[in-house]
Structure 1
Amino acid sequence: MLEIINPETDPYYNLALEEHCLQHFDDQDILILWQNVPTVVIGRNQNTLEEINLAYVKEKDIKVVRRLSGGGAVYHDPGNLNFTFIVNDTSGLNRYDFTRFTHPVIKALDKIGIKAEDNGRNDITIGGKKFSGNAQYRQGKRLLHHGTILFDCNLEEMVRALNVSQEKIISKGVKSVRSRVTNIAEHLHEPMNIKLFKEILTQTVFAGQKHEQYKLDGHEREAVLKLKENKYSTWNFIYGSSPPFNVVKKAQFEWGNIKVHLNIKKGLIEDCAIYGDFFAGKDIAELACHLRGIKYQESSLKACLETIDITSFIPSAKREEILELFIK
């Protein structure tokens, strides 16, 4: 396994680095451990302006960046350690196996006397409180898995920077975001900084196997910087363009929340945009394309959806759930 050494704390660079490694390090198993300055990282299919407290983010100069993977918005700062695995995987779009990648984190914590466990679809928890969220993205045979680790993060700042829907809070059975998250630092039996924990995690990941450290050369770094400038730091990629809409449908399912913006004219779906914190397979914009031009009535929507493999877009969703979302 290759460990990419990355001291950068620029979120736009770090997300570009992930994509560069995904595309250019064929057949290499890769680990990257990295940190960001205060940043909100938006999931691939989310509507950015609905996920952030824009005024607060601007006031505090908190960066906003979009990642390749689905899932929900997360907050990073120097008290948060992020980990990225890039490996070969042929299990297909419809399978999300997080435990292979979360196990080293759980094992590293066990070494310092903290009991953690996988919980829900993509979280790791301590005493029922979340300290790590995980997401995945596939490109061909390559799988990118990344996760956050709240070590000593400013949780109050996190709460202020993020807009979390009331439906999601209720679905978790808690009263607030702050009440369901925790820092590793709160559970330490002896003082430890994030640098030492990073070393313990690295040793745990590479235990019993050969690995080498790697730093990008000048040409590779230039390519990452170009990707950063042309994609990750651009307004269009971060905020995008939302079509005009006059109908909004939203729902919370076990596999995540979903929100659909529809522009209905003369009884037809003229435009459609789909947002949410779900984990997607194929590009969700392609699903929206299938719906354009369809009559906005149950029979037409049902007939259209029956021709579509919904699980290829949202692996855990059922066709009946999507139909119910549109007609309720």
Structure 2
Amino acid sequence: MIRVLDLEYPEHPYLNLALEEAIALAIGKRVVPETLRFWRNANAIVIGRFQCPSLEVNFEECISYKVRVERRFTGGGAVYHDLGNLNFALALRRNNPLIGEKLFRGFELLGKAVEFGLRSLGVKDVHFKPVNSVLIGKKKVSGMSGLIAKEFIFVHGSILVSSDLELLDRVLKAPYYNRREKFVRSKWHEVTTIEKALKRDVELEEIKRAIIEGLRKVLGYDFREKSIMAFERTLARNLYNEKYSKLEWSLGPCTMCPRKRIDEIIFKELTLNKIHQADELF
């Protein structure tokens, strides 16, 4: 049985990401059941663990549109989140036989589940594309990142349901290639949304049910909605207060970027009055 956790704090992206890591760690310690989580952010950019935000983010546009920036604990590229973007995360124990020792296998299983789910809604020409994308035709609608740690396997991703693609283009920088860079750069893909593909309004609950059914088909597990446990809450509070709410984590170890000081100032403006103690939030 896999627990379904429908838990989100859209106005607090730092807490949302602290919860992602807390759930993974709790599963690794065998304190909570293996989990599928659904959640959203309102107007945020989430960059990969090894990325330089100054290379990925148009901070001036983020100020104009009040888009916050945060770093996740997994690798991969930068993504834009709004309330039309549904995030999903599958956290399993390390010894799960379906994935084994290869993260790519996790991408494949979750990607196939998304593919099956979207097909059931009537989305045509949808397919998983290795390593970690789901496309409709040649346009990307979902991407994933993940981590295999000593005690857990964690794969998460997002689906563009009805996101503002124009704003996405404004706040994310178009990648360029520089062989001297030591950071992970995002790969450019033309994107689309589920609503564009289906040419109708799409409820998020439709997408959630479709993903669960896709995972049931791919994994063969039962899914049951349950609540977060006290251990996870405590862990998430600590991660939020000590890591995700800190400027040092969000901007990362990038010391060579000529824009670092400028972006620090802008980042502080973006987070002004937005950082709270976790106890105030949940």
TM-score class, shorter: 0.7 to 0.9
Indicate whether 1:69 and 2:74 are aligned: yes
Residue matched to 2:36: 31
Q: Say whether 1:221 aligns with 2:228.
A: no
8 A Cα contact 2:141 2:160, kept in partner? yes
> Hey, what does 2:183 align to over in structure 1?
none
Q: Does 1:154 align with 2:164?
A: yes
Q: CA RMSD in A?
A: 2.4
Residue among 125, 140, 143 paired with 2:135 = 125
Corresponding residue SS for 1:216: coil
Residue 122 of structure 1: how far off its partner (Å): 1.4
Matches within 5 A, 1:19-168: 19-26=21-28, 27=30, 28-90=33-95, 91-92=100-101, 95-97=103-105, 98-115=107-124, 116-167=126-177
Long gaps (5+) in structure 1: 169-175, 247-328
Task: Output the CA distance in 2 between the equivalents of 1:72 and 1:217.
Answer: 30
Structure 2 residue identity aligned to 1:59: S
Mapped partners of 1:7, 1:235: distance in 2: 22
By percentage of residues, which structure has more strand? Answer: 1
Which deviations, in whole Å up to 9, do the C-alpha atoms of 1:87-138 show, x marking residues without a partner?
A: 124544x652211111111111111111311124211100110011111112
* Match of residue 230 from structure 1: 242
SS of alignment partner, residue 109 of structure 1 = helix
Number of residue pairs aligned between Structure 1 and Structure 2: 237
Q: Supply the distance in 2 between the matched residues of 1:245 and 1:160 (Cα, whole angstroms).
A: 21
SS in 1 for 2:104: coil
Tell me the SS of whatever aligns to 1:131: strand
CA 95–241 in structure 1, closer or farther in 2 if over 3 Å, else same: closer
Compare 200-209 and 37-46 and name the one that shifted more. 200-209
Distance, in Å, in 1 between the alignment partners of 2:162 and 2:199 is 14
Structure 1 residues 233 and 181: CA distance shift in structure 2, 3 A: same
Q: In the alignment, what sits opposite 2:6?
A: 5
SS in 1 for 2:168: helix
Tell me which residue corresponds to 2:267. Answer: none
Structure-1-length-normalised TM-score: 0.66
Instruction: Tell me which amino acid in the other structure corresponds to 2:14.
Output: Y
CA drift of 1:18 comes to 1.1
Q: Check whether the contact 1:96–1:136 (CA below 8 A) recurs between aligned residues.
A: no
**SS, match of residue 144 in structure 1:** strand
* Further displaced range: 77-86 or 58-67: 58-67
For CA contacts below 8 A with separation 6 or more, give which structure has more relative contact order. 2
Structure 2 stretches lacking a partner, 5+ long = 179-186, 259-282
Classify the secondary structure of the residue corresponding to 2:252.
Answer: coil
- Offset of residue 244 of structure 1: 4.6
Change (3 A) 1:11 1:84: same
- 1:245 offset after TM fit, Å? 8.1
| Cα separation, 2, equivalents of 1:245 and 1:74 | 21
Identity across the alignment (%): 28
The answer to whether structure 1 residue 212 and structure 2 residue 224 are counterparts is: yes
Shift of 1:166: 3.1
Larger Rg: 1 or 2?
A: 1
